[in-house]
């Protein structure tokens, strides 16, 4: 009932005919290719599965059974609570026992792709005689009394109200939906659109997770291949820092829909091939054309749906990926111009690496190695979130994280900022870092004195709890240009504080600070050993990138030679030479000429070298708070860049700092 195994209907969708073709078309269009896996594709898939094991993406059977037991206990608690509330409303006990109530799962657990220690997204469904207020008042107290439950907190005012808790070591987010039904049977299917009649919007939003997850499983031709490919893509996205819906990247359901669309386009492909085709398809997608898993349902229950023909705001969505269940919504409405550029860069990078993997030149582990975020940029904004207690800090960090995308939008509106790249990882500030010497100093005595002065003048924080987010900045190429970030920062911090007051969250000691720092000043905030590892990671990535470029040039040369006409007397070599040329051509020049009308085969618009190449920076001043106590002005002046700071970045986008300009930062 709560496991991640497919239903009978979902298993039927994976059946194939005797000819190897899908029993029915899944998706908006016909498939691009119905080719069966080749032996080398199966070998790559086996290698892929083994490469995932060290990353703890698979749970043991005992761990799976533990989750099942927890969900069974929750389901029993729900039934008992519904019965007790109903009896308290003078309902006969015999009738109250039949009302039911049920726990449904959705998200990564329901899809069968959760990793070790992952949380469970669940939904409590109750009959019509149970009110939402009773769930957040009485059932919340029931949960708090359970000996297995810790860290139980209610977030009733959220857009999708939820109870968060740790149940016997497993984090659970439990939503609530009240249906217009007298009873909730155990075999109840939530995919029936008629269930949404007369429901309040919060219940519809709560039901949406389960309905979307079940639709995704029903729309893929082979569930096992889908799961292995999705595990791979989710791990890749997390390692490359593009897995966060709240910060403007893609969330779990979005990645699931993209992998599902790839499965529809290549229904018979092995998992390794699906991963390769995933990058091929979406590195060439013609955004903002939407990604759809099926034709929208012809349902009109007066709930808002994504439709740019009707809703003007939907026309401005940059990378629309539409959920398959009514009411259809865009799961990527938070994507900004900066996060779009970052995602497209990673798509292209993934395409280049999987090309090498499928040719057997590099192992799958290379796909999960990302270049260092902190050596990709020269200027950063660091957000420091301070609190006095652990509980306050948890709530305060959650609010700030949900608002960071507003700061990204403010920065993007500055005409001199080409990219504002937020790192989704939240760093905890460790006391004593300000006394460490950075391993990134060039050795110049003046610079070391400046760093020492910065450490003396700037105490990062005195709060007992401090978390940090980093935003990397790239500036448009220009000379003698002043960039004032004060207004962007102040608008953001004021908005967060006002919102905290409005929802009665802001308490004494809760503060938010934004500072401009340069790369060489990062040791004030981050551990020196961590920064050394980051630098080594970037060097390894640069070396691999150079090797990959050389291989691509050689492959191009071999492809050109394979297409030359053979001289007389060498016709016997034509068969093997032609086969080799075909493989090389697939790797280097494959196009989606048969792609569906919702995709298109042209390369999407992505940042050019001049747009993404940020200036080189020469540190002359200490990290300075901005947005609170003064102006932050970045002055770009023409000069020669230092040899030490020049970085090489992978194609097709140059996110490096190879321009011949430097930036001087004057902060008052």
- Told to judge if 135 belongs to the known catalytic residues of this protein, a careful annotator would answer no
189 close to 197: Cβ distance less than 8 angstroms? no
Catalytic residue among 119, 193, 527, 598: 119
Distance separating the N- and C-terminal Cα atoms of the chain: 62
Catalytic residue at 452? no
Tell how many helices (H) and how many strands (E) occur in the chain: 18, 15
Which residue numbers belong to the known binding site for ATP?
106-108, 119-121, 173, 234, 243, 252-253
Concatenating the DSSP letter of every residue in 425-448 gives PPEEP-TTGGGSPPTT--S-HHHH
Which residue is associated with the tokens 């980051």? 534
Question: What's the CA gap between 461 and 513, in Å, rounded?
Answer: 10
Q: Is the dihedral of CA 655, 237, 175, 223 positive or negative?
A: positive
Q: Is 121 a catalytic residue?
A: yes
The active-site residue, picked from 4, 108, 331, 659, is 108
> What are the φ/ψ torsions at residue 427 (nearest 5 degrees)?
-100, 140
Residue 447 has phi, psi (to 5 degrees) of -65, -40
Listed residue (131, 128, 325, 361) closest to 218, CA to CA: 325
Binding residues for Mg(2+): 119, 121, 173
Active-site choice (79, 102, 234, 340): 234
Report how far apart, in Å, the C-alpha atoms of 100 and of each of 134, 144, 188 are.
16, 22, 11
Q: How many residues does the chain have?
A: 668
Q: How far apart are CA 478 and CA 640, in angstroms?
A: 14
**What are 67's two structure tokens?**
């989750």
Q: Is 119 a catalytic residue?
A: yes
| 41 flagged as catalytic | no
Q: Which of 121, 355, 392, 632 is catalytic?
A: 121
Given 41, 173, 513, 645, the catalytic residue = 173
Q: For the beta carbon of residue 416, count every other beta carbon within 10 angstroms.
A: 16
Binding residues: 106-108, 119-121, 173, 234, 243, 252-253
**Active-site annotation holds for 234:** yes
350, 367 Cβ separation under 8 angstroms: yes
Query: Which of 104, 243, 375, 525 is flagged as catalytic?
Result: 243
What is the helix, strand, coil percentage profile of the chain, to 5? 45, 15, 40
Pairing outcome for strands 120-126 and 170-178: parallel
DSSP label at 250?
A: B
How are strands ordered across the β-sheet holding 632-638?
Answer: 481-484, 632-638, 661-667, 616-617
Q: Show which residues are catalytic.
A: 108, 119, 121, 173, 234, 243
């Amino acid at each position: 009932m709560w496991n991640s195994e497919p239903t009978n209907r979902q298993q039927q969708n994976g059946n194939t005919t005797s000819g190897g073709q899908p029993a029915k078309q899944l998706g908006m269009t016909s498939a691009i290719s119905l080719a069966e896996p080749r032996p080398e594709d199966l070998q790559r898939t086996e290698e892929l599965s083994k490469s995932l094991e060290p990353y703890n993406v698979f749970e043991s059977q005992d761990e799976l059974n533990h989750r099942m037991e927890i969900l069974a206990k929750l389901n029993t608690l729900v039934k008992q609570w519904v019965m007790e509330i109903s009896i308290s409303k003078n309902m006969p006990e015999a009738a109250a026992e039949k009302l039911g109530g049920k726990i449904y799962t959705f998200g990564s657990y329901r899809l069968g792709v959760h990793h070790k220690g992952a949380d469970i997204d669940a939904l409590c469904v109750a009959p019509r005689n149970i009110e939402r207020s009773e769930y957040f008042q009485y059932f919340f107290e029931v949960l708090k009394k359970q000996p297995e439950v810790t860290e139980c907190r209610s977030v009733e005012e959220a857009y999708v109200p939820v109870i968060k808790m740790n149940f016997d070591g497993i984090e659970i987010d439990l939503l609530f939906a009240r249906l217009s039904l007298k009873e909730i049977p155990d075999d109840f299917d939530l995919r029936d659109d008629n269930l949404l009649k007369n429901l309040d919007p919060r219940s519809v939003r709560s039901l949406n997770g389960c309905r979307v997850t079940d639709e995704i499983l029903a729309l893929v031709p082979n569930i096992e291949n889908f799961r292995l490919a999705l595990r791979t893509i989710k791990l890749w996205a997390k390692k490359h820092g593009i897995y966060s819906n709240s910060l403007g990247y893609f969330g779990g359901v979005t990645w699931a829909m993209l992998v599902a669309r790839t499965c529809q386009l290549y229904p018979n492909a092995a998992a390794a091939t699906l991963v390769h085709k995933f990058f091929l398809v979406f590195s060439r997608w013609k955004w903002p054309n939407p990604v759809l898993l099926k034709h929208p349902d012809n349902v009109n229950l007066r709930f808002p749906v994504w439709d740019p023909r009707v809703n003007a705001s939907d026309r401005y969505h940059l990378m629309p990926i539409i959920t398959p269940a009514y009411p259809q919504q865009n799961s990527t409405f938070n994507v900004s111009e900066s996060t779009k550029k970052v995602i497209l860069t990673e798509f292209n990078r993934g395409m280049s690496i999987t090309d090498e993997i499928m040719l057997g030149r590099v192992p799958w582990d290379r796909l999960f190695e990302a270049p260092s975020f902190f050596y990709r940029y020269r200027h950063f904004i660091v957000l420091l979130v301070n609190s006095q207690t652990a509980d306050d800090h948890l709530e305060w960090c959650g609010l700030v994280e949900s608002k960071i995308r507003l700061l990204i939008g403010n920065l993007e509106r500055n005409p001199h900022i080409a990219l504002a790249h937020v790192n989704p990882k939240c760093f905890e500030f460790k006391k004593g870092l300000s006394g460490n010497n950075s391993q990134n100093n060039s050795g110049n005595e003046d610079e070391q004195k400046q760093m020492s002065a910065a450490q003396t003048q700037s105490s990062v924080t005195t709060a007992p709890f401090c978390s940090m987010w980093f935003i990397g900045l790239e500036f448009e190429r220009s000379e003698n240009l002043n960039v004032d970030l004060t207004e962007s920062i102040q608008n953001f911090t004021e908005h967060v504080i006002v919102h905290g007051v409005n929802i009665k969250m802001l308490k004494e000691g809760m503060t938010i600070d934004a500072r401009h720092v340069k790369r060489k000043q990062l040791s004030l905030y981050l551990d020196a050993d961590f920064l050394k590892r980051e630098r080594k990671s970037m060097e390894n990535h640069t070396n691999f990138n150079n090797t990959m470029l050389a291989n691509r040039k050689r492959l191009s040369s071999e492809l050109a030679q394979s297409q030359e006409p053979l001289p007389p007397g060498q016709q016997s070599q034509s068969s093997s030479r032609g086969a080799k040329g075909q493989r090389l051509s697939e790797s280097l020049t494959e196009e989606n000429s048969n792609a569906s009308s919702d995709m298109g085969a042209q390369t999407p618009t992505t940042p050019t070298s001049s747009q993404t190449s940020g200036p080189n920076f020469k540190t002359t001043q200490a990290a300075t708070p901005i947005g609170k106590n003064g102006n932050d002005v970045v002055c770009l002046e023409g000069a020669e860049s230092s040899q030490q700071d020049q970085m090489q970045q992978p194609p097709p986008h140059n996110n490096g700092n190879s321009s011949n300009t430097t930036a001087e930062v004057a902060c008052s």
